[in-house]
Amino acid sequence: MVFELLDGSTGYVLLEKGLPEDDLFRQIWSARALVEKKYHSLVKQTHESYLKLGAKYITTNSYATQPTWYEATFGTEEGRRVMAAAMDEESSAEVLELVGSIGPLGLMCAHAKLSAQLAVESRHEFASGGGGGGGGAEGNKDNNNESDRNNHSNNNHNHSNNNHNNNNHNDENSICILGSLPPLVESHRPDLFWDALEAKGEAFFLDNYKDLAKALLEGGADCLVLETMNCWEEAELALRAIRELMAELAGTRSQQKQDVIVSLEGSLRGKDLKPQPHLAPAWVRKVLEFDLGPTARLRGVGFNCAPPEDILESLEHLSTEGVLAELETRDILVMVYANLHERDIYDEGFEMPSVQSPQRPEARKVTRRGDLIETAALATADEQTTIPCAGYVKFGRKITRDFGVKILGGCCGCGPQGIAAIAQHV
Ligand SMILES: [Zn+2]
């Protein structure tokens, strides 16, 4: 592999593993699994399914721990009613008591921290050979190939642990936990970001990003990743929050700089929701120019949750304008994880069901794109063969070879099958 493997989507994997697709799930999506203890193991199983495939980066299940959904769900009568209806009496009483003492945003941070702890536990159990026994020979081969040029360093320095194996498949330090920081209002909706900025002010973003980042680091995340940023301005607020947090934590942590990755929503939509991939060079330059302060560093820039075609266009603009070359010179990785769904729902205005109408009859079903996920013939180096997720594999080959993308995974619609396909065939 010429790239390092990132994991895939979380929400539907959790559902497949037994998380109920109830009204509470529709309100807080994958955070549903954090609310009740009995589902925590499903989060770990989801991480494990990607670790088994050789993922070197796993992402905390904190994409849905964000203030808009938590306020609506745990901070309103109607939201709490939906929650109580979804859970047994004892569990909901427990959550209500907690909300009573720490508030909806306190619960959000507790869940963000928990999501990181669950990822740490999964990694540990996987590395110590538990939870299904690790990967096969193929995983070992990949990892050995990677170790030489793998110059990223995780923040944990427990080299003294019992590294009795000669097989770095079981090396916890080779697996990086990405602490996910999502858009705080809605994904794929720059218009709503600007509305919220005007209505709530910068403090809403700075305070919540700071609290969420702190919780993720306390829980054990190695690297913070801003995911699906609607626009540069949203990413900038998150970066400012991280810089402030790091300044406050200075002296309390190891001297190693905190790694940060900024991943933009790969279509770079405008307020009118129209894709504008031609803005990729300008937005990435702004990310590069941002001063993260003395105790944090930019480890990568990414493009995620957009159709592969849009991401490809963004990469082409970056290449033409010399930004990819600059990233390489500065040793900043490019990360891509595309969305494999039909694009119309995003083009027309993506929306989570609201608390007021969790079961809107007009809510459309999101469908995956056949041309990306179907098994089809694809030429390998020396033969023509049929492979699963052929369309996405083809995209993966192109961006890792032509554009030097170093971290590749999948976003919405790309589960373990898709990740297995790129692990084996890209
Ligand atoms: Zn996505």
**Cα(420)–Cα(327) distance, integer angstroms:** 28
Please give the distance, rounded to the nearest whole angstrom, from the Cα atom of residue 84 to the centre of ligand 1: 28
Please give the distance, rounded to the nearest whole angstrom, from the Cα atom of residue 412 to the centre of ligand 1: 4
pLDDT above 60: residue 143? no
Q: What is the pLDDT of residue 380?
A: 67
Per DSSP, the residues of 276-320 read -GGGHHHHHHHHHH----TTEEEEEEEEESS-HHHHHHHHHHHHH
Please give the distance, rounded to the nearest whole angstrom, from the Cα atom of residue 128 to the centre of ligand 1: 31
Structure tokens at 95: 């959550």
Residue 148: pLDDT band with limits 50, 70, 90: very low
**Cα(135)–Cα(137) distance, integer angstroms:** 7
Q: What is the pLDDT of residue 129?
A: 86
pLDDT tens for 412-426 read 999 999 999 999 999
Q: What is the pTM of this model?
A: 0.89
Q: Is 266 exposed, middle or buried (0-12, 13-18, 19+ CB in 10 A)?
A: buried
The mean pLDDT value for 395-404 works out to 97
Q: Count CB-CB contacts under 10 A for residue 385.
A: 11
pLDDT above 80: residue 278? yes
Q: Among 25-29, 288-292, 372-376, 381-385, where is mean pLDDT lowest?
A: 381-385
User: Is 411 annotated as contributing to ligand binding?
Assistant: yes
**Cα(282)–Cα(298) distance, integer angstroms:** 17
pLDDT tens for 196-251 read 999 999 999 999 999 999 999 999 999 999 999 999 999 999 999 999 999 999 88
Q: What is the pLDDT of residue 345?
A: 84
Give residue 222's identity as a one-letter amino acid code. Answer: D
Please give the distance, rounded to the nearest whole angstrom, from the Cα atom of residue 305 to the centre of ligand 1: 4
**Residues composing the chain:** 426
Please give the distance, rounded to the nearest whole angstrom, from the Cα atom of residue 227 to the centre of ligand 1: 9
Angle ∠(200,10,356) on CA atoms, nearest 5:
45
If you ran DSSP here, which 8-state letter would residue 252 be given? T
Phi then psi for residue 177, to 5 deg, are -95, 115
pLDDT above 90: residue 136? no
Residue 135: pLDDT band with limits 50, 70, 90: very low
User: Is 223 annotated as contributing to ligand binding?
Assistant: no
CATH topology assigned to domain 4-150+168-368+398-413: TIM Barrel (3.20.20)
Please give the distance, rounded to the nearest whole angstrom, from the Cα atom of residue 376 to the centre of ligand 1: 24
Q: Among 131-140, 272-281, 326-335, where is mean pLDDT lowest?
A: 131-140
pLDDT above 90: residue 354? no
Q: What is the pLDDT of residue 4?
A: 97
The mean pLDDT value for 400-410 works out to 97
The mean pLDDT value for 161-180 works out to 68
Please give the distance, rounded to the nearest whole angstrom, from the Cα atom of residue 344 to the centre of ligand 1: 14
pLDDT above 90: residue 137? no
Q: Is 374 exposed, middle or buried (0-12, 13-18, 19+ CB in 10 A)?
A: middle
Highest mean pLDDT among 9-23, 133-147, 205-219: 205-219
Check if the beta carbon of residue 57 is closer than 8 Å to that of residue 409.
yes
User: Is 231 annotated as contributing to ligand binding?
Assistant: no
Please give the distance, rounded to the nearest whole angstrom, from the Cα atom of residue 61 to the centre of ligand 1: 13
Domain extents in the chain: 4-150+168-368+398-413
Q: What is the pLDDT of residue 165?
A: 37
pLDDT above 70: residue 361? no
Residue 131: pLDDT band with limits 50, 70, 90: low
327: CB partners within 8 A, 6+ apart: 284, 288, 301, 318, 333, 334
**What is the pLDDT of the chain when averaged over all its residues?**
88
Q: Which residue has the higher pLDDT, 138 or 327?
A: 327
Check if the beta carbon of residue 347 is closer than 8 Å to that of residue 273.
yes
pLDDT tens for 282-340 read 999 999 999 999 999 999 999 999 999 999 999 999 999 999 999 999 999 999 999 99
Please give the distance, rounded to the nearest whole angstrom, from the Cα atom of residue 11 to the centre of ligand 1: 10
Q: Count CB-CB contacts under 10 A for residue 231.
A: 20
**Protein residues with C-beta less than 5 angstroms from the ion ligand 1:** 305, 339, 411-412
- E strands of 128-234, at which residues? 176-181, 223-229
Please give the distance, rounded to the nearest whole angstrom, from the Cα atom of residue 411 to the centre of ligand 1: 4
Residue 44: pLDDT band with limits 50, 70, 90: very high
Please give the distance, rounded to the nearest whole angstrom, from the Cα atom of residue 188 to the centre of ligand 1: 9
Please give the distance, rounded to the nearest whole angstrom, from the Cα atom of residue 343 to the centre of ligand 1: 11
Structure tokens at 65: 């721990």
Please give the distance, rounded to the nearest whole angstrom, from the Cα atom of residue 340 to the centre of ligand 1: 8
Structure tokens at 39: 């589902």
Q: What is the pLDDT of residue 68?
A: 96
Please give the distance, rounded to the nearest whole angstrom, from the Cα atom of residue 167 to the centre of ligand 1: 33
Please give the distance, rounded to the nearest whole angstrom, from the Cα atom of residue 290 to the centre of ligand 1: 25
